[in-house]
Structure 1
Amino acid sequence: MHVKLPSCLLNGILGFEYGIVQAPLGPDISGPELVAAVANTGGLGLLRAPEWASTENLKELIRKTRSLTDKPFGIGVILAFPHEEQVKAILDEKVAVLQVYWGECPRDLVVEAHRAGVKVVPQDAKKAIDVEVDAIIVQGREAGGHVIGQEALFPLLPRVVDLVGDRDIPVIAAGGIVDARGYVAALALGAKGVCLGTRFLATEESYAHPIYKKKMIEFDRTEYTDIFGRARWPNAPQRVLQTPFFNEWKSLPAHENEANQPVIGKSTIDGKEREIRRFAGTAPNMTTTGDIESMVMYAGEGVGLIKEILPAGEVVKRLVEGAQLLIQQKFGEI
């Protein structure tokens, strides 16, 4: 029996052509070039708001991104750090989407953003369902970088979908998804879109250091740890590549942190040159010099499926076309 596929299955979310979200990556890794490339292909690209810089730096990022695309995009803000001025700048600039994470999304923030015409998308915030957010990102423990949750994505995702119920709040799946198979699996569990970090980090437009990108192809295993960035951001575990440096130091005693460690390199972040100490939480970007291989390299569990560095637009295209083909092949005929 032939089954007609639902026309809405691969439609976009939040007004974007496709339900593909490029996660905010720092420091400076998801810069204007990457975000614009994703936006120009129909996805939602997210800048990451600078953590140390003035709001003028943030506005310059917005202006540069707008010079590369006429499509809407968003900005991710970490609520664990001072963020009020950043949010004000984002709303003043009327960026399409404010994505917030590592903290509870308050109703006042949502009301203020909506008044400015900005959509709000929190991550891992079940309570946000009741404050009229525009979408929710559900992140599993498989994700790369700093991961606040402890549950795997696929057991967690349908529970959040059930909590949302018939409210008009798209659920976006994140954590370990890098290809069309993961996209289709998330759709089957009720997600309306997927958010990818590791796959977009390994793109031509990503501002990650070339050695970092190379290691993502070379290594296929990650580990959940807390040895990086303990002094600056305590109690913030992360998932990283199992590089030789990490494997040597992964049993770092709990009382040790980067504060008293030697400087192993320098990096320009948000327009300023900064020292990088051993065990710092600063991943190497294109400007980084020094002992790159001894720096943190964030990556999700899906990294083993990444075999090449691609243009970001090609990543979006393969996700969408691959998902459509899979659905037709597996479910088009019963």
Structure 2
Amino acid sequence: MKFGGILGFDTGIMLAPMGVDIAGPELVAVNNYEVTVKAINDTRKLTNKPFGAGILLEFEQTNTIRAIFDQKLACLQVFWGDFPKEMVDEAHKYGVKVIHQVGSVKAAERAIAAGVDCIVAQGSEAGGHVAGTVSLTALVPRIVDAVGNRKIAVVAAGSIADPRGYVVALALGAQSVAVGTRFIATKEAYAHDYYKQQLLHYNEEQTDRTDLYERFNWKADVRCIRTPFYERWKGAPDFVQNDNYQPIVGKSIFFEKEAVLQRFSGQVMNRTTTGNLEDMVLYAEQGVGLVNDIVPAAEVVRRFVDGAKAIIQGPSKNYLPKPKKDNDHSEVCEQGKGEKEVEKECVETIHCE
């Protein structure tokens, strides 16, 4: 098995697109040239290495794509729609490689015909927006076979949260993995600390695929954590939407502007978010049960690379962090509160048994 980076990057670990400020549909759809350029320049202040950007094709993205081309990013990842050959060719003129995320073999075949540089095969186990209905282990080999001997890298995405998932992806024929949920639980992620902490308390049986969130803007399936709020509302009829008839559950600051969050908003809470956090969506993949701690992003990459090497070289039981216990809700929900008060709020928020 080939082990290492793709598309000129150092390792085979790709950060799954979660948008600027861990964006929801409204923010992703901003289609603003200046805002995109600012986000790119802010990233360049932190690294001199190449990086890319991800966009959702469901929305008008002309200005965003133009900014990405003009700034000559290393790559552009697209999802939830077609990116035809003429757009791929234009990207290549600017030196931008195109990564297309898909959830089916048919979508992969369209991406192959368009001449993309890389295909991300997203299994149905993935967190956030999920396009397909096929599991990762069934989808990846089929897409690998469809690519054949073309110079198109295949990346596996969905429920990959530790080195074992990385090695499985390599064995299925993928050259790399895209990781989302594991990177939310890192020091650098702009997610709210409450969100990060909640990821430590749930397992694969406590996620669900639903269209409950963001129906007013974009009726699309997502995989999220089955929080007590979600369990109360998961059977809501289609007319229940995140429209102006819903109460405001919180506020966040995006691009230096305050935004209100209606109930059933698909916007994930960032560090600025205030309000009823327990009523907000928590996207997570089925691999969330393997997320046991909050560490620097570099440590996540190191664990993946070193752990995968150890597995490939020979069986080892010493490369994984200590696993968490299912339904272990012992973490403090909020600082500065008495033990009994914290215990009571944890029970209400996390729905301890």
For normalisation by structure 2, the TM-score amounts to: 0.84
How far does residue 54 in structure 1 lie from its aligned partner after superposition?
2.3
**2:157 pairs with 161, 168, 174, which one?**
174
Distance 1:137 1:53 in 2: 23
Shift >6 Å, 4+ stretches: none
Q: Give the structure 2 partner of residue 268 of structure 1.
A: 253
**Pairing 1:189–2:172 present:** yes
CA deviations on 1:120-178 (whole Å, 9 max, x unpaired) are 00001311112211110000110000111111111111000000001111100000001
Distance 1:165 1:145 in 2: 29
How far does residue 293 in structure 1 lie from its aligned partner after superposition?
1.0
- Listed as ranges, the matches of 1:298-309 within 5 Å are 298-309=283-294
Residue range with higher mean Cα deviation, 55-64 or 190-199: 55-64
Alignment root-mean-square deviation, CA: 1.5
**Pairing 1:26–2:19 present:** yes
8 Å contact 1:225–1:238 — kept in the other structure?
yes
Distance 1:51 1:28 in 2: 13
Q: Which amino acid aligns with 2:313?
A: Q
8 Å contact 1:26–1:283 — kept in the other structure?
no
Identity of aligned residues (%): 49
Distance 2:295 2:87 in 1: 36
Distance 1:224 1:52 in 2: 26
Partner secondary structure for residue 231 of structure 1: coil
**1:318 pairs with 278, 289, 303, which one?**
303
For normalisation by structure 1, the TM-score amounts to: 0.89
How far does residue 27 in structure 1 lie from its aligned partner after superposition?
5.2
**1:15 pairs with 8, 11, 14, which one?**
8
Q: Give the structure 2 partner of residue 59 of structure 1.
A: 37
Unaligned runs of 5+ in 1: 1-5, 31-48
Q: Which amino acid aligns with 1:17?
A: D
Q: Give the structure 2 partner of residue 150 of structure 1.
A: 133
**2:111 pairs with 110, 125, 128, which one?**
128
In structure 2, the CA distance between the partners of 1:53 and 1:290, relative to structure 1 (3 Å rule), is farther
How far does residue 55 in structure 1 lie from its aligned partner after superposition?
1.4
8 Å contact 2:31–2:64 — kept in the other structure?
no
Distance 1:52 1:153 in 2: 31
In structure 2, the CA distance between the partners of 1:280 and 1:89, relative to structure 1 (3 Å rule), is same
Partner secondary structure for residue 68 of structure 1: coil
Distance 2:44 2:168 in 1: 33
CA deviations on 1:105-128 (whole Å, 9 max, x unpaired) are 211110000000000000013111
CA deviations on 1:174-210 (whole Å, 9 max, x unpaired) are 0000110000000000000000111111111000011
- Listed as ranges, the matches of 1:1-334 within 5 Å are 9-26=2-19, 28-29=21-22, 50-52=28-30, 54-124=32-102, 125-126=107-108, 127-220=110-203, 221-234=206-219, 236-259=220-243, 260-330=245-315
How far does residue 51 in structure 1 lie from its aligned partner after superposition?
2.5
8 Å contact 1:53–1:270 — kept in the other structure?
no
How far does residue 270 in structure 1 lie from its aligned partner after superposition?
2.9
Q: Which amino acid aligns with 1:178?
A: A
Partner secondary structure for residue 200 of structure 2: helix
Partner secondary structure for residue 123 of structure 1: strand
Distance 2:238 2:39 in 1: 37
Q: Give the structure 2 partner of residue 42 of structure 1.
A: none
Distance 1:162 1:50 in 2: 32
How far does residue 50 in structure 1 lie from its aligned partner after superposition?
4.1
8 Å contact 1:222–1:241 — kept in the other structure?
yes
CA deviations on 1:208-254 (whole Å, 9 max, x unpaired) are 011011110112221001110000112x1100011111111111112
8 Å contact 2:31–2:62 — kept in the other structure?
no
Partner secondary structure for residue 138 of structure 1: strand
Unaligned runs of 5+ in 2: 317-353
